[in-house]
A = this chain, B = another copy of it.
Amino acid sequence: MSTPARRTGRPRSAEADRAILGATRAALVELGWGKLTMGDVAARAGVAKTTLYRRWAGKNELVVDAVAAVFDEHLEAADHGSLRADIEDVVVRFATLLERPETKTALMAVVSEATHDEALGARVRSAIVDRQKRLVLVGRERAQLRGELPPEEDPAAAARNADLIFDVIAGSVVHRLLVSAEPVDREWARSFATVLLHGLAAASSGTGTAPAPEPAREHRQKPAGSV
């Protein structure tokens, strides 16, 4: 039933697929996105260039698949007993993953290409991004079961909310690591979790207004320019 109508001729080597993806990751580590070439990957995999192009449309597609596998392997959401712990954990996990040399460049490069190639964008989202979003959903559900967050009522709102949270988490970590080029350590993760936790609570409680921020009585004598 699943076997897709066995065709005539020599079947594609499954071995080759593995070798190619492996070679791609290895090349990414050694050379980075920019210097990685199809010819080089083919040579590393002990495969002809033709074989590569028979399976992937180009460099972008190949790299997306090669990197997707790495993401799949390393993103699991363990239950740490509290929402804060779960957030901190997922932040650190994601950061660790992004610090691997093969993902570091590849992700940004592929995202960059995706800005003018809608098909590639879709592939990136389905193969890499969306599977991470699952973590947010799982984490929220756990928090709700624990009573740390209120249950959802409107499914659409819930989805929007999850998207927002996901963009905040993933975006912040990526920006910290790849743009600011600063480490995501335990301390940063804790600070970030603090911000997020309070934001989350407010968003979930529907508070559309600013919190009464600790009366903040008389700081106004503070001179400008203090930054």
Chain A residues with a Cβ under 8 A of chain B: 32-34, 79, 82-84, 104-105, 108-109, 111-116, 121, 124-125, 129, 134, 137-138, 140-142, 144-168, 170-176, 178-182, 188, 190-192, 194-211, 213-220, 222-227
| Bound CA–CA A33/B214 (angstroms) | 47
* Nearest Cβ on chain B to A37's Cβ, whole angstroms: 15
Contact B219 A206, beta carbon cutoff 8 Å: yes
> Contacts A180-B125, A182-B163, A205-B219 known; A210 to B191 CB distance under 8 Å?
no
Specify the chain B residue showing the minimal Cβ separation from A145: B222
| List of B residues within 8 angstroms of A34 by Cβ | 112-113, 116
Tell whether, in the assembled complex, residue A147 and residue B219 are in contact, meaning their CB atoms are under 8 Å apart: yes
Could you give 30 example pairs across A and B, Cβ below 8 Å?
A82-B210, A104-B116, A105-B112, A105-B113, A134-B227, A144-B222, A145-B223, A145-B226, A148-B213, A149-B213, A150-B213, A150-B219, A150-B220, A152-B222, A154-B224, A158-B227, A164-B192, A168-B175, A170-B171, A171-B179, A174-B174, A190-B208, A195-B196, A195-B200, A198-B198, A198-B201, A203-B226, A204-B213, A206-B223, A206-B226
Knowing A141-B224, A168-B168, A199-B194, say if A210 contacts B173 (CB, 8 Å): no
Contact A178 B111 (CB under 8 A): yes
Bound CA span A112–B171, Å: 15
Tell me if A175 and B167 are in contact (CB < 8 A).
yes
Q: B194 contacts A207, CB within 8 Å?
A: yes
A225 to B151: give the CA distance in the assembly, Å: 11
Cα A45 to Cα B134 with chains together (Å): 48
Question: B205 contacts A148, CB within 8 Å?
Answer: no
Least CB distance from A166 to B in Å reads 8
In the complex, what distance in Å separates the CA atom of A210 from the CA atom of B166? 19
Report the minimal beta-carbon distance from A191 to chain B, rounded to whole angstroms. 5
Contacts A164-B192, A173-B171, A217-B147 given; indicate if A197 touches B211 (C-beta within 8 A).
Answer: yes
Most buried by B among A147, A149, A213: A213
CB pair A138 B227 closer than 8 Å: yes
